[in-house]
Structure 1
Amino acid sequence: MLKNYHLWQTYFPQFAACPDKSVKSLMESAMLVDIPDGEKLFYPGKHCSNYLLLLEGAVKAQLLAENGREIVLYYVRPGDSCVLTTSCLLGEDNYPAEGVSEGPVKAFVISAQAFHRCLDHSAFFREFVFRNFSARLSNVIGRMETVLFAGIEQRLADTLLAAGSEIVQKTHQELAAELGSAREEVSRHLKRFESYGWVKLGRGTVEIVDRPALSRLAKQP
């Protein structure tokens, strides 16, 4: 029987059920590794030579700003693969960010050679890689939107709700002054709210169309 078959069945049952010989070869070549808490798995400029499939623990992918601030891009959790690793392997690029284990991590490590060989020969593996990549990339974009825009959007939603009327008689400039922001920025977010169907914009007015949606946004941490 394939080594570590029970782990494949538990965490990646689709691999265990796949009859593809290329996939079986990939599984056979995978190394099971244990990584201690706080280990730096990759960092900016590091060459990507392995594809990881996580079984236990978590890996935090993050960017470090010049001022020392950490910006978390995403977490890799059991059953996941790392979107940056996939991107670097496909593009033959070096890592642009760092990944650090959070708690003890157990993972399958697949060499870049085995990864590309299976990608070339297995439709199942190609679908798995690109489906996972797409889903993880969407999560990263969503998280970045939250980091970059949620602050002003939450305050804007709260300000509109606090007006106490479905028709808010305020210009974009007046709202910007209340929020301590630029009019252009407030206008951009109001137009986004309108595209979502949450508000309707008029001349010097903002009509609240979907109060529950604004309430959910305003209450986000």
Structure 2
Amino acid sequence: MTVENINILNEYLTIFPELSSRDQKQIIDGSSFHKYKKGEQIYNVTRTCNGIMIVKSGQLRTYMLSDEGKEITLYRLLPGDVCVMTSSCLFNNLDIEIHILVEKPTEVIIIPYQILDSMRKENSMVDRFLLDIISQRFSEVMWVMEQVVFSPMLKRVAECLVNHWSLADSDVVRITHGEIANDLGTAREVVTRLLDYLQNDNVIKQERGKITILDPLKLQTLYK
């Protein structure tokens, strides 16, 4: 493994600097580096449990697929993100069928699940690290499910942005999260979460005091 990739482990695998020299060497020697092209399907239900994945560069889309072929995005993996869902066999009774698609040319480091599985049995810090990551991902998944099942708020936020965009006659809408919340009679935190979702989906771009509409057609379809 190159020095650059070892530095990636140090930076993004937050427990790495705290591991013993023996455990660090085991991870370095056992890990592999991979490059993927845009459009590649790098993980699905037919793939084996291959290991913990650390994103060095690029962008990955994690989604679920229904029996009818309908997709729903769960979350995106960006540089610095660690994915444990590709090692679901590490956790008993964890049965979630996910797919991972490359949205931008991506580089990843994969740590075989066997390495961390043996470490977590001897080191509670490793176990907590893995559980914290999977808890974070499930929180993101649950939030997406809540939007799908319960909330029309995303449609209301989209409509609000389109209305302001039309009034501004520009792709740049000068508006704050608080002003949108006031327009809709909801909490600022709710608006912030939904705007972050739209930004991650490349529909808008947020900057202090303004929002740039990147995909007005997609934004319009969200509330129709």
After TM superposition, the score normalised by the length of structure 2 is 0.61
Q: Say whether residues 1:105 and 2:99 are aligned partners.
A: no
Counterpart of 1:61 in structure 2 is 62
Identity %: 23
User: How far off its partner does 1:69 sit?
Assistant: 2.4
Counterpart of 2:52 in structure 1 is 51
Could you report, residue by residue, the CA deviation over 1:117-172 in whole angstroms, capped at 9, with x for unpaired residues?
Answer: 122222332121111111111111112111222227866xx9xxxxxxxxxxxxxx
Is the 1:49–1:89 contact (alpha carbons within 8 Å) kept by the matching residues of 2? Answer: no
Is the 1:60–1:99 contact (alpha carbons within 8 Å) kept by the matching residues of 2? Answer: yes
CA 1:10/1:81 → structure 2, altered by over 3 Å: closer, same or farther?
closer
Is the 1:32–1:109 contact (alpha carbons within 8 Å) kept by the matching residues of 2? Answer: yes
Tell me how many residue pairs correspond in the alignment: 167
CA 1:126/1:20 → structure 2, altered by over 3 Å: closer, same or farther?
farther
User: How far off its partner does 1:215 sit?
Assistant: 10
Could you report, residue by residue, the CA deviation over 1:4-23 in whole angstroms, capped at 9, with x for unpaired residues?
Answer: 32222343354135436324
Counterpart of 1:125 in structure 2 is 126
Counterpart of 2:215 in structure 1 is none
Distance in 2 (alpha carbons) for counterparts of 1:57 and 1:28: 24
Distance in 2 (alpha carbons) for counterparts of 1:153 and 1:54: 29
Structure of larger gyration radius: 1
Distance in 2 (alpha carbons) for counterparts of 1:215 and 1:59: 26
Is the 2:15–2:126 contact (alpha carbons within 8 Å) kept by the matching residues of 1? Answer: no
Is the 1:61–1:99 contact (alpha carbons within 8 Å) kept by the matching residues of 2? Answer: yes
User: How far off its partner does 1:30 sit?
Assistant: 1.0
Q: Say whether residues 1:213 and 2:187 are aligned partners.
A: yes
Is the 2:43–2:86 contact (alpha carbons within 8 Å) kept by the matching residues of 1? Answer: no
Amino acid across the alignment from 1:119: R
- For the residue of structure 2 that corresponds to 1:150, the secondary structure is coil
- For the residue of structure 2 that corresponds to 1:91, the secondary structure is coil
Is the 1:26–1:118 contact (alpha carbons within 8 Å) kept by the matching residues of 2? Answer: no
Distance in 1 (alpha carbons) for counterparts of 2:104 and 2:72: 19
Could you report, residue by residue, the CA deviation over 1:20-55 in whole angstroms, capped at 9, with x for unpaired residues?
Answer: 632442233111211222211111233213221222
CA 1:79/1:127 → structure 2, altered by over 3 Å: closer, same or farther?
farther
CA 1:215/1:6 → structure 2, altered by over 3 Å: closer, same or farther?
closer
Distance in 1 (alpha carbons) for counterparts of 2:189 and 2:21: 50
Is the 2:147–2:154 contact (alpha carbons within 8 Å) kept by the matching residues of 1? Answer: no
RMSD: 3.4
Distance in 1 (alpha carbons) for counterparts of 2:155 and 2:141: 20
**Structure 1: runs of 5+ lacking an equivalent:** 159-209
After TM superposition, the score normalised by the length of structure 1 is 0.61
CA 1:92/1:49 → structure 2, altered by over 3 Å: closer, same or farther?
farther
